[in-house]
Structure 1
Amino acid sequence: MAAAFLKKVLNTAALLTLMTGAGAAFAHAHLEQATPAADSTVNSVNELRLVFSEGVEQAFTQVVISHDQAPVPVSSIKTEPGNKKTLIVTPAQPLPAGTYNVKWNAVSVDTHKSAGDYSFTVSN
């Protein structure tokens, strides 16, 4: 009877170990930090920096900035050199005063997709 109990404990432990490893393998790139920060008010914006929990594929990641529901032209979206976790978004022009919404769709380096959005305000 003790052998059967021990076998169940070991099987459960093995299953939990496999499930924990699978969870890490199927992780998505979550937004951990943004500059300007969500719900913040800033004086000026020349670029946005989005820092994800894992590296993102620049070519398959999209960021749309909008103001009054109209898209804001963006001149570039690229990862920081040597750091695929940081995405640098450069608007074509410095952003004038107003409230902006940022929507992002990221594809992590392990090809998993994630999305989100946040807002910030520029004051002059």
Structure 2
Amino acid sequence: MKSARFPLRMLAGLTATAGFAFAIPALAHPALVSASPIAASTAHDVRTVTLTFSEAFTPPLSGLEIVMTGMPGMEGHHPAMKMNGVKVAAGADRKSLVATLAKPLPAGTYDVNWHAVGEDSHRVTGKVSFTVR
């Protein structure tokens, strides 16, 4: 009898392991795969900021803000300032966030603070920094 139960236990264990292996992709979270302007780059005439993620996110729970962190000639004396007039929308594929600005960003350094909520309802956050000249 013991030998008959062993294969059943083994089969049950293998089935559970296989089920877990297929569930792993569902545990993934949106990860930032690209940004425009590119992180740590110097850009000119920035009118849009686009972040692209590895998987779809939930648009009503995801977004970004653009913060000016420095201004030429004011190094160390410029307080962080959230940029107003920024409209953020999800791309049709729900894998990109596009921020459209009312006017080009002035010269300075910027952080784009983003958050994205994946289909598994987990919130992930991050930051992309760049300079405008």
- One fold, TM greater than 0.5? yes
2:99 counterpart of 1:89: yes
Could you state the TM-score of these two structures normalised by the residue count of structure 2? 0.77
Match among 64, 87, 101 for residue 76 of structure 1: 87
Range moving further from structure 2, 30-39 or 9-18: 9-18
Partner of 1:61 in structure 2? 62
Q: What runs of 5+ residues in structure 2 fail to find an aligned partner?
A: 70-79
CA distance in 2, matches of 1:101, 1:32: 17
Partner of 2:38 in structure 1? 37
Q: Which has the higher strand share?
A: 1
| Two-structure CA RMSD over aligned residues (Å) | 2.1
2:132 counterpart of 1:122: yes
Partner of 1:101 in structure 2? 111
CA distance in 1, matches of 2:23, 2:119: 16
CA distance in 2, matches of 1:57, 1:91: 22
Cα deviation digits, residues 69-103 of structure 1 (max 9, x gap) = 110114311112x3111111112321111110011
Equivalent residues of 2:63, 2:97 under 8 A apart: no
Q: CA deviation at 1:56?
A: 1.9
Equivalent residues of 1:27, 1:112 under 8 A apart: no
* Alignment coverage as a number of residue pairs: 121
Equivalent residues of 2:47, 2:105 under 8 A apart: yes
CA distance in 1, matches of 2:106, 2:21: 47
Q: What runs of 5+ residues in structure 1 fail to find an aligned partner?
A: none
Q: In the alignment, residue 73 of structure 1 is paired with which amino acid? A: N
Distance change >3 Å, CA 40–CA 13, structure 1 → 2: farther
Percent identity, please.
33
Equivalent residues of 1:74, 1:89 under 8 A apart: no
Asked which structure has the greater CA Rg, the reply is: 2
Equivalent residues of 1:46, 1:90 under 8 A apart: yes
